[in-house]
């Protein structure tokens, strides 16, 4: 299992947020024992910061039955309900409010965490106090994939994006079956390999974006160097999208992250590299258009779980390295190892 202190750094980089000294100090004073404690503490600090700066407001559409006209009168609806003879009308208007779906989601998440049986009592009390300071109702928001998709489509930035990531992960961990006390249970998301693979990929890519200046860092779509008798047949080829591409004038690195328990697998009583991973990276390299004066190379990066691996080859004329990253070492060692990998 990845240590929770390392997990915090990974989440911050994956979500484009620098680690906060206040959270790190809180973890040193009272180490976290479960991922849910970590998420609750981070959400607590994010909400306090939001309250200090003030909740952003936006115009929210409303529809009410009023005795004085406001905004646009819904004439058909008012007539069908016989409201006009009574001196009333259904009015649609926009009102500046902090009752935004994201804020309502935050309020509901804080309420749920304040009742979570897996959290220490002191942390639950803090969550409950901060929730009371949040001048927003939980509204009718239903945490789930449709709501998260809608909020992501709004492309929130900065603090709002960070809070959305936190709330989404908390609800992703929530198990549908309540405990006997009525309080919800939460899973350890470190056991979710698909989720951790996405976090690991985003963490590595954003780490290089923030912590070095030599390379331009991006995810790249590679076109197949292919021909077909029928042009539309080319559209059937799968998309080649790199996890991370680091590019400088003299060097280009295609770095593929793989969140697996081991970089090697037993085959015929021998340990071997995982073939599909190597084939994928080889395809990326072979379909890159040649650039003058630019060295092209590939890296397969795994978290070190069962054993450390660091091997280098030349495949198709390109240097390829398969290496593991020890996520159980202190953060300073992890950062140094990532920087040394592309030095």
Number of domains, the chain: 3
Verify that 64 and 47 share a domain, yes or no.
Answer: no
DSSP string, 22-45: HHHHHHHHS---SHHHHHHHHHHH
Tell me how far apart the alpha carbons of residues 240 and 75 are, in angstroms, rounded to a whole number. Answer: 54
154 and 222 assigned to the same domain = no
Domain boundary among 47, 81, 97: 97
DSSP 8-state class, residue 118: T
The 10s digit of each residue's pLDDT in 255-265 is 999 998 888 88
Tell me: the pLDDT tens digits for 117-129? 888 999 999 999 9
168 with 226, same domain: the answer is no
Please report, for the chain, how many H helices and E strands are present, in that order: 11, 13
Whole-structure pTM value: 0.83
SS3 110: helix
Mark residue 316 as left, alpha or beta (left: phi above 0; alpha: psi -120 to 50; beta: remaining). Answer: left
CA-wise closest residue to 37 among 108, 106, 112, 119: 119
pLDDT value at position 178?
Answer: 42
Choosing from 144, 169, 189, the residue where a domain stops is 189
The pair of structure tokens assigned to 220 is: 């790249």
**Domain match, 303 and 325 both:** yes
Other residues' Cβ atoms within 10 Å of the Cβ of residue 49 = 14
For residue 309, count CB atoms less than 10 angstroms from its CB and return exposed for 0-12, middle for 13-18, buried for 19 or more: middle
Residue-level pLDDT at 257: 96
Co-location of 200 and 255 in the same domain:
yes
Supply the CATH number for residue 213's domain.
3.40.1350
Q: What is the mean pLDDT of each run of 10 residues along the chain (343 residues)?
A: 89 89 70 85 92 85 89 91 92 86 92 89 94 84 88 87 92 61 66 91 96 95 89 88 95 95 83 93 91 92 87 94 94 96 94
What residue numbers bound the domain in which 93 lies?
Answer: 58-97
Cα 289 to Cα 222, 223, 229, 247: the distances in Å are 9, 9, 22, 14
Provide the sign of the torsion angle of the four alpha carbons 34, 333, 42, 96, taken in this order: negative
CA atoms within 13 A on the CB side of 44: 22
Q: Kindly state whether residues 222 and 262 are assigned to the same domain.
A: yes
The pLDDT score that the predictor gives to residue 313 is 95
* Same domain (yes/no): 274, 143: no
Claim to verify: residue 202 and residue 337 sit in the same structural domain? yes
Write down the H helix ranges in the chain.
4-14, 21-29, 35-53, 75-80, 101-114, 121-133, 145-153, 158-173, 193-211, 275-286, 331-341
User: Do 156 and 260 sit in the same domain of this protein?
Assistant: no
b/e code 211-233 from CB counts within 10 Å (16+ = b): eeeebebeeeebeeeeeeeeeee
Do 45 and 71 lie in a common domain? no
For residue 301, the number of C-alpha atoms closer than 13 Å in the C-beta half-sphere is 28
Q: Measured between alpha carbons, how far apart are the two ends of the chain, in Å?
A: 28
Residue 301 CA: distances (Å) to CA of 6, 11, 23, 177, 196:
17, 18, 28, 37, 14
Spatial distance between the Cα atoms of 282 and 320, rounded to a whole number of angstroms: 9
- 62 shares a domain with 51: no
Boundary-marking domain end, from 68, 97, 126? 97
User: Within a 10 A sphere around the Cβ of 282, how many other Cβ atoms?
Assistant: 15
């Amino acid at each position: 299992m990845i240590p929770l202190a390392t997990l915090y750094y990974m989440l911050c980089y994956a979500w484009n947020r620098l680690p906060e000294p206040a959270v790190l100090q809180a973890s040193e004073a009272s180490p976290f024992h479960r991922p849910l404690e970590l998420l609750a503490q981070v959400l607590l600090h994010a909400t306090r910061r939001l309250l200090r700066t003030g909740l952003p407001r936006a115009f929210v559409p409303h529809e009410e039955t009023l005795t004085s006209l406001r905004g646009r009168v819904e004439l058909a609806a008012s007539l069908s309900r016989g409201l006009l003879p009574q001196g009333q009308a259904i009015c649609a208007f926009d009102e500046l409010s902090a009752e935004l779906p994201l804020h309502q989601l935050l309020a509901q998440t804080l309420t749920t965490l304040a009742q979570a049986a897996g959290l220490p009592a002191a942390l639950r009390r803090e969550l409950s106090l901060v929730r009371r300071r949040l001048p927003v109702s939980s509204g009718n928001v239903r945490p789930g994939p449709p709501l998260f998709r809608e909020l992501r489509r709004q492309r929130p930035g900065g603090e709002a994006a960070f809070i959305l990531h936190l709330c989404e992960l908390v609800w992703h961990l929530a198990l549908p079956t309540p405990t006997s006390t009525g309080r919800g249970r939460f899973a350890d998301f470190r056991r979710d390999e698909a989720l951790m693979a996405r976090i690991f990929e985003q963490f590595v890519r954003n780490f290089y974006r923030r912590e070095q200046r030599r390379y331009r860092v991006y995810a790249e779509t590679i076109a197949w160097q292919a021909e077909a008798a029928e042009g539309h047949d080319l559209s059937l080829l799968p998309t080649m999208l790199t996890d991370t591409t680091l590019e400088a004038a003299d060097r280009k690195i295609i770095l593929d992250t793989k969140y697996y328990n081991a970089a090697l697998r037993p085959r015929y009583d021998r340990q071997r590299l995982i073939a599909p991973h190597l084939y994928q990276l080889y395809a990326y390299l072979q379909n890159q258009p040649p650039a003058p004066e630019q060295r092209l190379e590939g890296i397969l990066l795994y978290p070190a779980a069962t054993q450390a691996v660091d091997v280098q080859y030349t495949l198709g004329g390109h240097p390829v390295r398969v290496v593991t990253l020890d996520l159980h070492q202190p953060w300073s060692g992890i950062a140094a190892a990532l920087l040394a990998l592309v030095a």
